[in-house]
Every structure is written in structure tokens, then in C-alpha cells.
Structure 1
Amino acid sequence: MSRAAFYLIVDGRYLPIALGLASRLVNLWKIDVHVFLEDRAVTDPPARVGSRIFLHLNVLDGLRPPDLPETPNWPAIVYDRVFAPRFLEDYDRLIYLDADIYPLRVDPSLLTVALPSGLGAVQDTASIGFSPHVTKLDRPAWCASIGLQSERYFNSGVLVIDRETWNRIDFSTELTRYMARHADAVRMPDQDFLNYLFQGRWTEFSPAVNFQKAIFNYGYERTFPPVFLHFSSFQKPWLKPDALESPHGQFFPLFQQMIREAGHDPALVQSGRRESVMRRLRKTSRAWLSQRGFSTRKEARQRREWQERARHLSTGFQADLRSGRYVDTTVQDIDPINPALSFDGQYLRRPLVITLEESV
């Protein structure tokens, strides 16, 4: 087995979460974790971070080209994930993780599957059959706008990397060239760039390896038992408690525990924002009506959208499984899925049916 490590890249706000995640990864996977803290405001990082956890302060500063496009949800720090592998020369296999991930189980195939292009990833499940809503384009037009000819588009929250092959790429030059042509079109900047650079060449893992929030409501955790659960939206499970009928409610105490066991106060990463009284009343009244069999326009619209997305997901996953596209599974069909969804006055929701693997 190749020598392997995880790595994460965060600013000071996310450091307690990243160190909690790193501790759980070490306990489960028994391999090293490197946390790159990229924040010029931090001058006194924690001296002790745990066994097999390594903290790097601002070592990636200055590597990315200047003036790369960024958004509030995609700050410039996201580009740094492509440069970090050059500082991890002691490893053959690297796995990059976003910090909004909860590890559920170990899958050794991530450490052994061949990666001819240097990259393995998982399809972006939010864009199966659709384009990002912020683009206001249909999917073919969106793909063309970011230079993508391939129909496959991956999520960059989990990247499985062959370090030697990866480090042969001059990412600074490639980024500069790409943004000179497509900067006005990108909405998920580094993810769009990586999809362009690796189109038609990346090795594809099943949704189990990056089980994204976009499919939480569809019951696919039976077909694809999650390795990494990815809370890939503005809703983060550590921000505030929620009902146990939702994944965010299920995982709020688990994130609290993970952060606390790493020696940090989970209250430091919780949100201090409160809903307005009017917003809370509207939400409560819609939920009350739903529980009594009366569907508001908001709920009806969301259920129609759920049905449409469910058709795209089912068709796409069935085709992928039957073609043997995924390198980490031999499953060939989807388990029957008919999840019961409740409406909390704002969103449709259901709890995830998962097994939590613990270290031995």
C-alpha cells in the first residue's frame, strides 16, 4: 500500500473544525493529516494539535496567481488546494477534504486505485441534469461557458491525488491561461478550472466517497454507503441545533463532540444569528399546515422540484452503475427508494440512515 495522507486548507475561523476533523481521520484511518492554516491574521497557532496531525501556517501564501476570481462562497483560499501537494513529498497518495465533511467509515480502495491522470473525484450531484442556478443557463450552455466539452463535472470537496503525477502540472500557469479565457463565466472558480483541466481524464469514484448535501433527501445512502458526508451548502451542521429529522440535526452533536475532543470550544463556531420573529412565524405556520395535510405553495413547489431531480438522479446513477463507471463499487443497480419527506416550513427533510464507524 502506498504511503498516504489527508490534507485540509482553512482560515482561522475554520481551524477548530479542521482539527476536530483531523483527529477523527487519524483515529479512523490511522494515517497522517496535514492542516494548512492560511490566514495572515493568525500569528500564534496552537502548539499541540494531536498525534499524526501536522499544522502548517501560511506556507501556501503567494503561490496562487494574483487577481483570480472569487465569490463570497468561494474565497481565494480555495485555489490553494492545488498547490499544497508540493509540500507533502513524503507521500504517494493524498486525499484533500473540505472542512465541512464528516468521515463515516474507511474505504481502503481510495489508497490503492490507480489514478492515471493524477486525480480521482466524485460527480457533483447538485449539477446532475442541471446547471448551477446562479448561471441562469441550461446545462450545455453552462458547460460551454467554462470550456467544458465533457458531460461529467466533479465536486472538488474530495480529491484523491497521485502526488507525483499531480506535481508535474504547472498549476500557476494553467490557472492564468484558463482565467484569461473564462474568468467572467466561472461561478465555482477552482472547481470549474479543475474540471476543465482534467476533463475526460479523471478517475471516477461513486457518490459514497463524496456524499453531498444535494442527495441527502433521496435515500441513496443505501446504494452508496457514505465514506465522507459532505455538507456542501451554506447550511453547516455546527452552526446551530436542528431537529433530529434532518441531517443537520443528526450531526450537530457529532460535530460538537468532534470539535470538543480536539480541545476546542464548539460554541466558537456556532452562529449568533437569529431568525426574525416574522420569518419564524411564517415557517411555523407552514409546518403546522403541512402536518395537517395542507400543502402551501412553498411546499408544493419544493415537492415538484424534488420529483424532477429524483428522475434525473435515478436515470444518471442507474446508467453509471450498469456501465461500471465507478472504480470503488461493483453494485450494478439502485436499491428501491421511496423516502418519506417532512416539511419543516422552510425545507423538505429526512434523516439519513447511516452507520457510524468507530476506530478500533
Structure 2
Amino acid sequence: MEEKIDILVTLDENYLDPLKVMLTSLHQNNMQIDFRIWLIHERISSEKLQALQTLLKFYGMELNVIKVPLDLFADAPTAERYPKEMYYRLACGSLLPDNVKRVIYLDPDTLIINPIQELWDLDLEGNILAAATHSGLTNITKGINNIRLGINHGYFNSGIMVIDVKQARSKVQIEDIYDTIRKYSDYLLLPDQDVMNYLYGEFTKEIPEEIWNYDTRQSSAYFTRSFGAYNIHWVAENTVILHFCGKPKPWNEKSNNRFSLLYLHYQQLLKRYEENI
């Protein structure tokens, strides 16, 4: 029996529709792979979860839903900038069952446009995490973030990560996360990402952003940095995960990103699938 790939998502009802599009793209480009989807949430309705279950059964994917008790993160610093969902991915080691040893965490505002197996098989070389940095054209933000957070490594994007869950169970402590937020809240711009970098950046293996976490806003920067090699044809053949960072999102009518049409293609494909389930 072939090993299943474990995918982790943490979100609320507002991101269920983008999640379905992302999972549609994952299915379309990885039909030979068995996936277990782990959805950690706090208050998604049973009706919407059932609709997601029906879709994933159609895709041949296994859905596992973990509902976090309302009092589990009662002591967590929360506000609009600190939604509880941000804790779930960092604390996944204490939330996922013991038989889950590794997961690929995916933000819902992504598309998987090529096979993902190589990311699953990645040698973490003893690290807890693997993630990409978004360096832009000049990489000036690395220096800014290093000063702001007092770190001496790259600033990793937390939207796509490989997580060694077995290590996370012993090394990622929820109280450390709480303490960091309480101590540095005035300096945190992207709370969960900042916390991840501050506490665990030195235990993170860097993976190529052009392949595993392609920021769709930065296509010109990728093209320029590669001296013209990373054009659209290269992306179609080599990039695995497109990440629609920032706003507007591709499902918004104001979006006119060069990758918006591709996103809308998968959105329409999802619609046709749902009409025939």
C-alpha cells in the first residue's frame, strides 16, 4: 500500500471556497497520489463540512476534521491581527494524531499546478520546517526583517511549509508562542509568520520559492533575476505552487493578475465538478 501524503489546512468558513479551488488544482495535477486532508478549525458549520466531504470523496481524498475546543486557546493573545487559526498550524504537533509524522501545510490562496511528490519526499536534514523566502528583486526586506525581529537568517513565508510533526510535538511549545506575542506584539507585522521566523527560523530549511512558493505578484522580479529564464513557459513546466499573496485575491473581480485567468479556470472546473456530484 502506497504512503498517503498528509496535507494540513487551518481556516474559517470565509476561506472554504478558495480551499475547494486549491484542492481541485491539487487533485487535477496529482491524480496518482492518495491524500489525507487535515482540516483544523473552530466553528465551521457541519453543513459546510459535509459539502466539503462530498467533494473530496469525489476526488478520492480522505478528509479528517479536527474541531478545536473553544477553550483550548483561551489564554492566547487574540485580536483581528491574531486570529486563532494562526496558532493551529504552529501548534499542529499537539492537535494532530500521533500517527501523523509529517504534513505539507498549504494556504488556501494557492494553486498546485504540477506534481507535489518531491516536496513530500524532501530531506529536512534535521530541521523542523521547510519553507521559502520571498526575496523580491533586491532582497532588501531580509535586512529589514532581520533588524525588526533580531534574527540572522532568511525571512520565511509561512503559507507553504513542510512540517516535521514528530519534532514539532516536542520542540514547538504553545507558551513560547504566547510569550513572543505578548513581548513583541508592537513589532509584529504578520503575526504568525513573524512568530514562526522568530522562534523557529533557525530550524527551517530553505526551499526554492520559484518552485514551491511562487509569489504571483513578483513574476517580473523572477524573470529579471533569472536573466529571462523564468518566463511563463518555465513556470508552467517547473513551478509547483502558485501563491496569490496580498490583495486583491484572484477570486475578486478587481484582480487582474496575469495568473488570475488560471485561477478562474480551476474555479470553473470546480463548479462543473460540483454540478455533477
TM-score class, shorter: 0.7 to 0.9
Q: CA deviation at 1:121?
A: 0.5
Q: Tell me how far 1:92 sits from its aligned partner.
A: 3.0
Query: 1:224-243 alignment to 2 at 5 Å?
Result: 225-240=238-253
Pick from 83, 87, 90 the counterpart of residue 79 of structure 1. 87
Q: 1:27 offset after TM fit, Å?
A: 4.2
**Hey, which of these two has a bigger chunk of helix by percent?**
2
* CA apart distance, 1:83: 2.5
Counterpart secondary structure, 2:10:
strand
For structure 1, list consecutive stretches of 5 or more residues without a partner in the other structure: 132-138, 265-360
Q: Provide closer, same or farther for how the CA distance between residues 232 and 123 of structure 1 changes in structure 2, counting only shifts above 3 A.
A: same
Give the whole-Å Cα distance in 2 for the aligned partners of 1:187 and 1:125: 17
Aligned to 1:257: 268
Separation in 1 of the partners of 2:255 and 2:144?
38
Aligned to 1:173: 175
Q: State the one-letter code of the partner of 1:200.
A: E
- Equivalent position of 2:201 in the other structure: 199
Distance 1:102 1:156 in 2: 16
Runs of 4+ in 1 over 6 A off after TM superposition: none
Residues 26, 111 of structure 2: 8 Å contact kept: no
1:36 is aligned to 2:26: no
Mind listing any 5+ residue stretches in structure 2 that lack a counterpart? Answer: none
Letter of the structure 2 residue corresponding to residue 176 of structure 1: Y
TM-aligned CA distance change 1:242 to 1:140, over 3 Å: closer
TM-score between the two structures when normalised by the length of structure 2: 0.78
CA gap of 1:119–1:142, structure 2 versus 1, over 3 A, is closer
Q: Equivalent residues in 2 for 1:29-68 (5 A)?
A: 29=30, 30-36=33-39, 38-40=41-43, 42-47=45-50, 48-49=54-55, 50=57, 51-56=60-65, 58-59=67-68, 61-64=70-73, 66-68=75-77
Q: Which residue pairs with 1:246 in the alignment? A: 258
Indicate the residue corresponding to 1:8 in structure 2: 9
Shift in Å, 1:109: 2.5
Other structure's SS at 1:234 match = coil
Distance in structure 1 (CA, Å) of the matches to 2:258 and 2:88: 32
What SS does the corresponding residue of 2:68 show, helix, strand or coil?
A: coil
In the TM superposition, 1:301-320 aligns within 5 A as none
Q: What's 1:190 paired with?
A: 192
- Provide the residue aligned with 2:23 in structure 1: 22
Secondary structure of the residue aligned to 1:174 is: helix
Residue 16 of structure 1 and its aligned partner are, at CA, apart by 2.2
Count of residues in Structure 1 that have an aligned counterpart in Structure 2: 253
Cα offsets for 1:158-178 (capped at 9, x unmatched): 011122112212431110221
8 Å CA contact 2:250–2:263 kept in 1: the answer is yes
Of the structure 1 ranges 52-61 and 151-160, higher mean CA displacement relative to structure 2 is found in 52-61
1:17, 1:204 → 2: CA distance?
A: 26
Taking a change above 3 Å as real, the CA distance of residues 242 and 18 of structure 1, as seen in their structure-2 partners, is closer
Q: Deviations over 1:155-198 (max 9, x none)?
A: 00001112211221243111022123211110110101111112
CA contact (8 A) 2:156 2:201 kept: no
Identity over aligned residues, as a percent? 19
TM-score by length of 1: 0.61
TM-fit CA distance, 1:41: 6.0
Whether 2:134 is the aligned partner of 1:124: answer: yes
- The answer on whether the counterparts of 1:101 and 1:230 sit within 8 Å (CA) in structure 2 is yes
What's the secondary structure of 1:233's corresponding residue?
coil
Matches of 1:31 and 1:88 in 2, distance apart? Answer: 18
Q: Which amino acid aligns with 2:150?
A: G
* AA matched with 1:247: F
How far apart in 2 are the matches of 1:124 and 1:62? 35
Over the aligned positions, Cα root-mean-square deviation in angstroms equals: 2.9
Change (3 A) 1:46 1:189: closer
Q: In the aligned structure 2, how far is the partner of 1:6 from the partner of 1:199?
A: 21
